[in-house]
Amino acid sequence: MRQVLAIAALATTLSACTFYSSEPLPAASDLAKEPASLPPHALSMAEVAALAVERSPDLVALRRKEQVSEAQAFSAGLLPDPQLTASLDHPTVRGVGLTNAYALGLSEDLQMLLTFPSRHSAARAQGDQARLNILWDEWQTIEKTETLFVQKTFADKKAAKLSETSKLLLDQAQRSGRALKEGNSTLDVAGSDLSAALDISSQADTASRDALANDVNLKSQLDVAPSVPITLADLGDPPTFTDSVVDSALKNVANARPDLLALQAGYHAQEENVRTAILQQFPTFTLGGTRASDATNVKTVGVSATITLPIFGNVQANIKTQRATRAQLKAEYQQRLDQTEADARRIMTEIGILKEQISRLEGRLPDFERMAAVGRKAYAEGNLAPATYVQLQTSSTARQGELFDLKAALWTDTITLAVLLALPITPVPRQPTNGGKP
């Protein structure tokens, strides 16, 4: 029977064990390199954000990290393992009736049982905090992806406009250069045309590099190779958040934003840590039972108790540390709330300024574009001086580029505000102009 019980105990122990297996590191990039890795249609901002949450390499790594945090929290909330002790004594002299002596003991830390409810509650809160932190990471990934969507959209438009004007002015510079060689122009005119063409060309190159960087960064968020083509749908206009909407969101932000909920969970865990530290100021008891046999084969059964007396202040120092940590977490939470309101008010002011600038520029831009178009026609007919032609083209392009930058900034601020206050982002379709014609 003893052998059967020993085999059963050994089998039970082995069945609960986890065995080692190696897991080698990857040897190469695993970015998707086929166009089929993305949907074939033009992607909206919401679709791109959803793909990023699903596929972002940063989030994949953070989810692995979150699993580590959950495992640590799970471990902290387990019951303490009992301690089994065993000893065997072999007599070193010969004598009648002498035999091997042994002792078996099983003990449990009673204070660990006493503090188990608070430790278990703290572990659950730490697990919640880990999950909320990964959710906040997903929100930040959405914000980053949507911002890259906006930046790519307007960078592409700006680069296309500058490249178009650059081609026009480079053609004009070449004509001025030929006219100078033929004696039909002056050095100041040819030099001015060349300088304007090179300036616009440099701006076009910078815009193209910015557009490329945004394209690569966006594809990186989607875990696809830079060579995979991606088509973005029309962005539309950003939604408008009124002061009343912002005020209401600020009142509810502590119950909606994952990072604030994570801080609340962390604070609850620390509250339980303080409770645990206070319970630990009482003497620690370790209680157990023993069964033994001496060298004369006299068998005994006994009870053992170990008491740790907290008289040198170590427990009180731990209580002080835990309370100070709790006060620190409370201050950090209050600072996060204060910073949220300050940032929301600042962004709302910036959005108001940007809207005024966009409205003012959009009201004037048609005049610039009309004058530039008239200027191109007049110049082609020989009725406009080259210097005036160049000035009209550069001025119109500069205003158009400025408008792209302002709209990108407005969209970026709107996205930041939406994430800050846990508000939904719903782009507003652009209203058609010219009597409904596109």
What's the gap between Cα 21 and its chain centre?
A: 31
Owner of token pair 């039970």 = 12
Structural domains present in the chain: 41-421 (1.20.1600.10)
Q: Specify whether the CB–CB gap between 242 and 351 falls below 8 A.
A: no
In this predicted structure, which of 26-30, 197-201, 341-345 has the lowest mean pLDDT?
Answer: 26-30
* pTM of structure: 0.77
pLDDT in tens, 234-282: 988 999 999 999 999 999 999 999 999 999 999 999 999 898 888 888 7
433 — pLDDT class (breaks 50, 70, 90): very low
Give the three-class secondary structure for 389: helix
* Percent share of the chain, pLDDT over 70: 84
For residue 424, pLDDT beyond 70: yes
Give the three-class secondary structure for 353: helix
Which residues have a Cβ under 8 Å from the Cβ of 19 and sit 6 or more positions away?
none
- d(CA 50, CA 38) in angstroms, rounded, equals 12
Q: Specify whether the CB–CB gap between 114 and 281 falls below 8 A.
A: no
Per-residue pLDDT, 409: 96
Helices (H) and strands (E) in the chain, counts: 10, 4
Per-residue pLDDT, 436: 41
pLDDT in tens, 180-220: 777 766 676 677 777 778 888 888 999 999 999 999 999 98
What's the gap between Cα 229 and its chain centre?
A: 25
Q: For residue 293, report the phi and psi dihedrals to the nearest 5 degrees.
A: -140, 130
410 — pLDDT class (breaks 50, 70, 90): very high
Beta-ladder partners of 107:
83, 288
414 — pLDDT class (breaks 50, 70, 90): very high
